[in-house]
Amino acid sequence: MANPRKQIIINEIQFWKQNKLLPEHYCDFLMTLYSEGNEVDIEQKNNYKKAIKAKERRRANLMNSLLMIVAIILIVLLFALNQIAHYLLIVVGIVAIISVIGAIYLSKKYGLLAPILQIVAALLLFSISVKVSITYFPDNLNVLYSLLIANCLIWLGTGILSRLIYFIIAGSLGLVILVGYQFFI
């Protein structure tokens, strides 16, 4: 089977058969027809599995990109619009919670997508904390420092419990900077 078009068709027929998009006897007939009566070899089956994994990775990357764009837009809107701050805080909070749940779910399925969702959730939580401090306690910097320290402690705790080096570094570095800023300025 040197023809790449036939290989693509055979991969699609295997996909249909596996996902029961067509009855099995139709898929067997089509497989026999396109493989010209030859057995489909192991390499073709491996190519099919690789094609399915590539489709899943592309879908995960698309979801990742969309979530990052939505998170960036929400963070910008959170600080740009003051009139609808209450509603926007709720929306950003919901997106942060969905990001955390999505990170937990997708970390089991895809290794690459979970860290991005965790970082998005951490940044959304950080931005909510800063916005709450600025909106409700504009003259009290102690509330802002307390919320920032709480965020850093959450990051540090999450990094230690989950063994995520980027959260350990972010939490530790944030604490060092905040404590240093408090004592030296």
Over the stretch 69-90, which tens digit does the pLDDT of each residue have?
Answer: 776 777 676 666 666 656 766 7
Tell me if 174 sits within 8 A of 151, measured CB to CB. yes
pLDDT tens across 148-163, in order? 999 999 999 988 988 8
Q: Distance between CA atoms of 25 and 4, rounded to whole angstroms?
A: 24
- Residue type at position 43: E
In this prediction the pTM is 0.51
Where along the chain do its domains lie?
A: 4-34, 137-185
What confidence category does residue 51 fall into, taking pLDDT thresholds of 50, 70 and 90? Answer: low
Sign, CA torsion 61/67/70/75: negative
Q: In angstroms, rounded to a whole number, what is the distance separating the alpha carbons of residues 112 and 59?
A: 12
CB distance 122 to 103 below 8 Å: no
Q: Is a pLDDT exceeding 50 seen at residue 1? A: no
